[in-house]
Structure 1
Amino acid sequence: MAGKTFDYFSLRAAAEGGLGDISRLPYSMKVLLENLLRYEDGRSVTVDDIKACALWAVDKRSDREIAYRPARVLMQDFTGVPAVVDLAAMRDAMKILGGDAQKINPLSPVDLVVDHSVMIDYFGSADALTKNMDVEFERNGERYEFLRWGQKAFQNFRAVPPGAGICHQINLEHLARVAWTGEEGDRTLVYPDTCVGTDSHTTMVNGLSVLGWGVGGIEAEAAMLGQPVSMLIPEVIGFRLTGRLREGMTATDLVLTVTQMLRRKGVVGKFVEFYGPGLDTLTLADRATIANMAPEYGATCGIFPVDAETLTYLRLTGRPEDQIALVEAYAREQGLWRTPEWDPVFTDTLELDMSTVEASLAGPKRPQDRVALSGAASALKDVLTAEGVTDHGKGFAASGESYDLHQGDVVIAAITSCTNTSNPGVLIAAGLVAKKAVEKGLKRAPWVKSSLAPGSQVVQDYLEKAGLQSSLDQLGFNIAGFGCTTCIGNAGPLAEPIANTIDSNKMVVSAVLSGNRNFEGRISPHVRANWLASPPLVVAYSILGNMQKDITTEPLGTGSDGQPVYLKDIWPTSAEIQATVAACVTREMFQERYANVWTGPQQWQDITVVEGETYTWSDTSTYVQNPPYFARIAEESGALQNITGARPLAILGDSVTTDHISPAGSIKADSPAGRYLLEHGVEKKDFNSYGARRGNHEVMMRGTFANIRIKNEMIPGIEGGMTKHIPSGDVMAIYDAAMAYQAEGTPLVIVGGKEYGTGSSRDWAAKGTNLLGVKAVLVESFERIHRSNLVGMGVLPLQFPTGVDRKTLKLDGTEVFDITGIEGDIKPRQDVRVTITRADGSQETITALCRIDTADEVEYYRHGGILQYVLRSLVA
């Protein structure tokens, strides 16, 4: 690009042209402002929208709705497959309505990375990687054939084949450009690289100064098809970092501290932007670790401005020199470059002196529940007590094995997840811990299932160059896959003697993983206490083998010299880690690995691709089916109706996650989804996971609210996806009850508490809710993505008034709900009346807030969902 001329929408010129002083706008607000300037058309983006963005510097908040258009879309396969299924179904519907099927085509670049389908069936052996990939292709053949069709059928759509790594790490290391370019006539425009992704942790690329966040698959599909992302101008919380991490502390310790602080602050629906002198001490990988966990602290994004470290990382990861030069020139010209004087205005701020960060874990079931490492043993004992375990030290013989299992034993130790496997510092630290442990003669506890699943193949290269992979192998941390494994629920099965011992004795055992998610039932159905930890701590706990022991004071084990070995004896110094990273992580590794990232393994290349404008659906497929969203769709939408005579399908508590609503993990044989698969000739060993079967609505609607740990207050004391059918009073699976209600013509509501829909940006949590016949969800508060997904599927999100909830109303599930005030038309965030009729005939009316937040969302709801709206728009 040397000597090349680029056009751009100048923030400086806009300021001089009447916008006024915007120099102290946060980095993220400048990116939004540029987006509005570039797309101003007097309709979807107006001059008043632009002025509102500029005036933010004065008011530091705004209630104005804007239309934002990201440069590109990122997908992983769990969410990507159903998105491509929906596009294929839209092509069918377009033809039925007499339109051009080719109009259903991504207008923005779409990259899908197949990274969520590898499971840890094999571990602790040299051939674990090969065996797991063979099983992955065997299980997912139907899905992969479908994706290969999508590659051929859709323009602007690319797929990274299985085995390359995790989408967020590939985005960080290869796909992201920081400054994006596009051809427009005879000129080349340069503008900020921005994206939305069908995974919550899309925010990881914020560490590279790319504004991006997770959306549901349905929102991503709309963005692909040229629809703007409708959003309110956000509040921006400034997080000032000072000092530097103390000796021995890791980026994981830092991010768990940041997550806890921001959750306490309350940043749901807000942007978080990091600034301050402490940024100078953080590598870009450290920044990406913090940005990755924005969903865990609840923010829309957690972004860092462009500076010299951004360029250093682009150079390290093999980006072309002319692209790096463009990034610097554009960032400096637009006022996006962080200088020592960088001090934007924010809606609110908080501060952390990084020298105060201590070694930490988070658990046992929420990523924001940070525990000091020195208090982990005590925290585990509290879990045992809460679970009713009276004899904390009791052991149970594992059938056929030479050891006993004890309460709190670590049965899974996994180095996994985009959060940490993108960070050479913590992975090198894990390798050094393993090396020192092996030299001392330590071994992994025999009941621990250990695994290493890097987020890119470059990790393998630098661990091998550093001579550390062999030590990890000796402790059972052989590379078992390149992808998202334990963190997403793909830990694979525990050995039968261990699983049976746990289940038959109702034991409380632990998993320690370097992930970002540890929600109930997610990691393994057999594990009740799940702890997030840095990669080196994962290695250490695999040796210690039990969470009841205080790892900071008790020996990990006995060395070959007969002496006790403590954690401090094998913990590497910061200087050791930094020297190894500097010597062993090279630009050439990234260039070589990413040169062929689109090719894929031989199994991928050998897939037969049937080409065609529309997809040929197979009635016998249990992975991919034509969804019913467009059945009987008319060219015009009907009038809105009040919801009358609705029954509660479930009454749920606080912090119900998308894992509770739409599990990603294993499928139980006696569940509705399991029964469906068995009836269709699928053996239990071939069930795969809910996540892998998201392309089949028949499986997924049966899996909705089927999490083994969900608690429905309509049936106290019963765990799992069950409910009480009214008026029969019969207790049954939620799916079975929903089908009974549908046969009776009874609409349904879900009632919940605070933070409803926390967790992954899982479109199936909204799709399944819709297909079960739920018309409204009434809760105390919503997590951002799930609320918008409900609207996108035509489900009405309602919020209790302050001081009123399911408990104050004494709801037990026998009530009937009438929701009025939506007939004909509705306005954003208007009040609606909810009349509750109890079993004895008495009534109570409350005023609920309609959480359809924007005018665009009103249109989506009026059409029955965002896809129906887009389809009708394209036909028109």
Structure 2
Amino acid sequence: MSRDEMPDTLQTLDAGGTTYHYYSLPKAADALGRIDRLPKTLKILLENQLRFASDPSVAREDLQALVDWQQGGRSDREIGYRPARVLMQDFTGVPAVVDLASMRAAVQKLGEDPSRINPLSPVDLVIDHSVMVDKFGNPTAFKDNVAIEMERNRERYEFLRWGQQAFDNFSVVPPGTGICHQVNLEYLGRAVWSKEEDGKTFAYPDTLVGTDSHTTMINGLGVLGWGVGGIEAEAAMLGQPVSMLIPEVVGFKLTGKLREGITATDLVLTVTQMLRNHGVVGKFVEFYGDGLADLPLADRATIGNMAPEYGATCGFFPVDEETLEYMRLTGRDAVQIELVEAYCKAQGLWREPGDEPIFSDALHLDLGDVEASLAGPKRPQDRVALKDMKATFEKLMEGENGGKPLPSEEKGRLFSEGGQTAVGVHESYEHHDSQNVELDGEQFMLNPGAVVIAAITSCTNTSNPSVMMAAGLLARNARAKGLRTKPWVKPSLAPGSKVVTEYFQAAGVQEDLDALGFNLVGYGCTTCIGNSGPLPPPIEKAIEDGDLTVASVLSGNRNFEGRIHPLVKTNWLASPPLVVAYALAGNVRLDLSSEPLGEDPDGNPVYLQDIWPSQADIASAVEKVKTEMFRKEYAEVFEGDETWKALQVPQSQVYEWSPSSTYIQHPPFFEGMGREPEPIEDVENAHILALLGDSVTTDHISPAGAIKPDSPAGRYLQERGIKPVDFNSYGSRRGNHEVMMRGTFANVRIRNEMLEGVIGGETRHVPSGEQMAIYDAAMRYQEKGTPLVVVAGKEYGTGSSRDWAAKGTRLLGVRAVLAESYERIHRSNLIGMGVVPLQFPEGEDRKSLGLTGDETISIEGLASLTPGGRVTVTIKSEKGEKRIEALCRIDTANELEYYRHGGILHYVLRRMIGAV
């Protein structure tokens, strides 16, 4: 079909006294076929194609493919998707701005105008990932942590302030304000976007991509958005379409209502388990069914937030009356709310009772079947019913203990340790790992299963007034019963926005949380992203001396190995009220459904059901949440405090790099770059840098958490005069490639199968046979000009959209990854950095091929690649030679073009100066 056959769909509607132009989906249906049962997510993609139909990258076949999708619920058509805006957080945002600054420098070097490098779409960067829980359990914790954060991150924050004044369409929400996803949900998101163009006001769906995988939280507001790598987000903000195959859409039908005492967290852990078991990687999930009528928007956002945990690209909830009600509550303008209703109804994007779209597959959940749950010990999809927690931990410890059961405990026996009432661990307990500890004048025994971190944290739950109020009310009830947090627990409260503090104070529960040690520590991600801060030295020493398997309980969305704290082996996701409950119990080796948390001053046992707030009490407390709170806290959201305003920044178009900075360095990605790309060469005789198993996450690959003094990154910093106490975290130093490449594959829990019995970022340098840090081996290989590959199992790259997992891989000299399967974002990021992702043919893997890591690998056919094509991989060892035909996971023509140019940013830069 010719481009002249594009349907004419431009229409107008009136809302709030304004006439809006829009591209009508019903008019498109007149030309393309019925779309009334097309999933609403695909209707949004169809509108996107209609709006950009004049661009050469859009063909009528793209439109027709979206409509024809209904015939089988699948399509192999590639489309270019252009989101309305981009959202960033500081950990991923800093390297993105570093790349933009580096692109300006490269453009200037090529003799072009550097100001041509600018975001073309609105970009909001929210500083939320930097605050750490250094101080806790006291009234000044928040003030102290913010002061420490500003001091640690001054160089980074000065750089971001430079970016704010240097680039157009770029806004920064300063530190101490909130978590990007909660700010997005409560303030930035509009559900329907609008802008002026050629004297007309156009309306279209609010869509976005974000440099954090939990961007999907905004799906609860009827906004289509998902996480991408920083490099892909940069391309989107620079006008490049996000290349994607029309996805499968899995419908998830919700009916019924949640039972008394069941929280949104319990629901999302159940949904996560169901969808992960079903298999939704790379797919859209769209929620529907009449159960949505009774599901508050905050609960929807909680479910949407955890789409990365169930593996989906997004977890979308259509716009309905509940959406409008939430927008009213959060202080959105009445004119905007009128536009949302009028536009969504005109476009068929409004949820109607009884809607039954066509889906690729569908699941069903009766909300009445959901039970109290946690998830762990190291994957968010591993749901454990509350009543099964004790048995689950016991079984886990049997494995840790060589199959030997832990000593039995006298069920429900209470005892007193150092004046502290405790339960479930008593005088007769004589496990050899248990350690005597003295802390702040109290003596106690630290045992396996001890809860050493209890954190109300994360965008997932702190955006939800219902579960947050439940935590506050449970604290009030516990306090009234005379219960206290156990002395070995590090409690913390880190809401996602200042509005939470407003409604906690209005409901009178902040005082109760403070009394249990859950003082405000900051407005940011904190523990959920590994910024849990240090444990008290006596606790850390006891864990190390006894090699204790202890626990954290957090209201977060991630609990991967080594993420929360390097010494905490088991991490459990739970609702905020359960976080408080486990802080009181002090150990996960309790069945909180039947065993007491502790005892009151009269010696009577106190059970969880005794202090769990009723639904009526929670609802009454939630009524304290008022629109004025949102309007007050978001009135000056971009302003920042006096310290932020006082930061000095240069007024220059091209950034002035400081050679002495250990936070911001000029990356080498564009070194030697010409106007034309170099020809692609095959890989010859590459060595294996790491041989990895299944479910290797981006947390395993990308530098994250604390920097160890004896690590390559630690040595680098100390050589530049930085003391270990001032290392800060890997995340805070993402603007310095020298630190980040040294921390790639350095996770303390990664297991390289080239080394038997070794855990951590080590490998074997094959020519010498020496064991060394992966970075050190990579540098030895680079000195000899030896290419490298990484070999892995299933689900390689699971987890957050960490662009440094791909950037670090590239800088270590890795040309290709050969795995059994990939998670979507990391596969895309590897291509974006010029690393080719290859997939084992069906029936083959590292084990069937008997790989040890001593082999050399050659890859033929890279110069003649086609999307989804195959390449010949030759594996040589002392035993001989094997050949396999690996699937190249460069899935689309756009991805192939990025790879041909050496990466997506190289391609974009060349396009912006007219070289492509």
Give the TM-score, by structure 1 length. 0.99
Match of 2:721 among 662, 678, 681: 681
C-alpha contact 1:274 1:303 (8 A) present in aligned 2 = yes
> Greater CA deviation, 75-84 or 399-408?
399-408
Q: Is the 8 A contact 1:640 1:822 kept in 2?
A: yes
2:395 is paired with a residue of what secondary structure? helix
The answer as to whether partners of 2:562 and 2:568 remain within 8 angstroms in 1 is yes
Aligned partner of 1:863: which letter?
H
| 3-state DSSP of counterpart to 2:285 | strand
1:509 lines up with 2:550 in the alignment: yes
CA distance, structure 2, for counterparts of residue 471 and residue 213 of structure 1: 37
Q: Tell me the residue number matched to 1:131.
A: 144
Residue 62 of structure 1 is aligned with which of 47, 57, 75?
A: 75
String of CA shifts for 1:248-277, please: whole Å, max 9, x gaps: 100000000000000000000000000001
Give the SS at the match of 2:203.
strand
Task: Return the letter of the residue paired with 2:711.
Answer: S
Match of 2:190 among 153, 157, 177: 177
Matched, 1:238 2:251: yes
Matched, 1:726 2:772: no
SS at match of 2:236: helix
Q: CA deviation at 1:218?
A: 0.1
Could you tell me how far apart the structure 1 residues matched to 2:905 and 2:55 are? Answer: 25
Partner residue of 2:28? 14
SS in structure 2 opposite 1:213?
A: strand
For each residue in 1:182-228, what CA deviation from the matched residue of structure 2 results, as whole angstroms up to 9, or x when unmatched? 11111010000000000000000000000000000000000010000
| CA-CA distance at 1:574 after TM superposition | 1.1
Root-mean-square deviation (CA, aligned residues, Å) is 0.9
Matched AA of 2:756: P
The reply on whether 1:384 has 2:423 as its aligned counterpart is no
Instruction: Tell me the CA shift for residue 606 of structure 1.
Output: 1.1
Gaps of 5+ in 2: 1-14, 408-428
Match of 1:486 among 527, 532, 540: 527
**C-alpha contact 1:669 1:675 (8 A) present in aligned 2:** yes
Question: What TM-score, normalized by structure 2, do the two folds share?
Answer: 0.95
Contact 1:522–1:663, Cα closer than 8 Å, also in 2 = no
Q: How does 1:338-417 map to 2 (within 5 A)?
A: 338-388=351-401, 391=406, 393=429, 394=431, 395-399=434-438, 401-417=442-458
1:27 partnered with 2:40: yes
Q: Deviations over 1:676-711 (max 9, x none)?
A: 111111111111111111000000000000000000
Question: Contact 1:97–1:875 (CA<8 Å) still a contact in 2?
Answer: no
* 1:658 has 2:658 as partner: no
C-alpha distance in 1, partners of 2:397/2:721?
A: 40
CA drift of 1:826 comes to 1.2
Quote the residue 2:101 is aligned against: 88
Match of 2:51 in 1: 38
| Amino acid across the alignment from 2:344 | A
Mapped partners of 1:687, 1:21: distance in 2:
59
In 2, the alpha carbon distance for the partners of 1:15 and 1:533 equals 45
Residue aligning to 1:457 = 498
Equivalent AA in structure 1 for residue 885 of structure 2: T
8 A contact 2:289–2:354 mirrored in 1: no
Residues in 1 aligned to 2:693 and 2:721: alpha-carbon distance in whole angstroms:
37
Assess if the C-alpha contact under 8 Å between 2:857 and 2:876 holds in 1.
yes
How far is the alpha carbon of 1:341 from its aligned partner? 2.8
Matched, 1:871 2:909: yes
User: 1:383, 1:529 within 8 Å by CA — same for their partners in 2?
Assistant: no
Correspondence 1:256-405 to 2 at 5 A: 256-388=269-401, 391=406, 393=429, 394=431, 395-399=434-438, 401-405=442-446
**Secondary structure class of the residue paired with 1:78:** helix
Q: Secondary structure at the match of 1:441?
A: coil
Runs of 5+ consecutive residues of structure 1 not aligned to the other structure: none
- Conservation of the 8 A alpha-carbon contact between 1:660 and 1:706: yes
Cα distance between partner residues in 2 of 1:554 and 1:624: 52
Match of 1:845 in 2: 883
* 2:666 corresponds to: 626
CA contact (8 A) 1:118 1:490 kept: yes
Q: Using the alignment, how far apart are the partners of 2:762 and 2:17 within structure 1?
A: 66
**Within 2, Cα distance between the matches of 1:360 and 1:293?**
15
The 5 A counterparts of 1:182-261 are 182-261=195-274
2:865 is aligned with 1:826: yes
Aligned residue pairs total 872
Q: Secondary structure at the match of 1:630?
A: coil
User: Retained in 1: the 8 A contact 2:531–2:705?
Assistant: yes
The one-letter code sitting in structure 2 at the alignment partner of 1:857 is: E
Letter paired with 1:669: P
How far does residue 42 in structure 1 lie from its aligned partner after superposition? Answer: 5.5
| Correspondent of 2:897 among 830, 837, 859 | 859
1:663 offset after TM fit, Å? 3.1
User: Of residues 152, 156, 162 in structure 1, which corresponds to 2:165?
Assistant: 152
**Residue pair 2:526, 2:532 contacting (<8 A) in 1 also:** yes
| Letter aligned with residue 843 of structure 1 | E
1:694 correspondence with 2:707: no
Quote the Cα distance in structure 2 between the aligned partners of 1:42 and 1:551: 59
Match in the other structure for 1:801? 841
Q: Which amino acid aligns with 1:826?
A: L
Q: 1:683 & 1:385 partners in 2: Cα distance? A: 40
**Partner Cα separation in structure 2 for residue 90 and residue 839 of structure 1:** 45
Aligned to 1:715: 755
State the shift of 1:399 in Å. 4.7
SS at 1:403's partner residue? strand
Q: Secondary structure at the match of 2:572?
A: strand
Query: What code does the residue aligned with 2:550 have?
Result: V
Distance 1:651 1:183 in 2: 53
- Describe the SS at the equivalent of 1:6: strand
The answer (yes or no) to whether the contact 1:201–1:293 under 8 Å persists in 2 is: yes
Q: CA deviation at 1:25?
A: 0.5
Aligned ranges for residues 463-862 of structure 1 at < 5 Å? 463-582=504-623, 584-823=624-863, 825-840=864-879, 842-862=880-900
Q: For residues 637 and 195 of structure 2, what CA distance do their matches in structure 1 show? A: 23
Cα displacement (A) at 1:432:
0.6
Contact 1:72 1:194 in 2 (8 A): yes
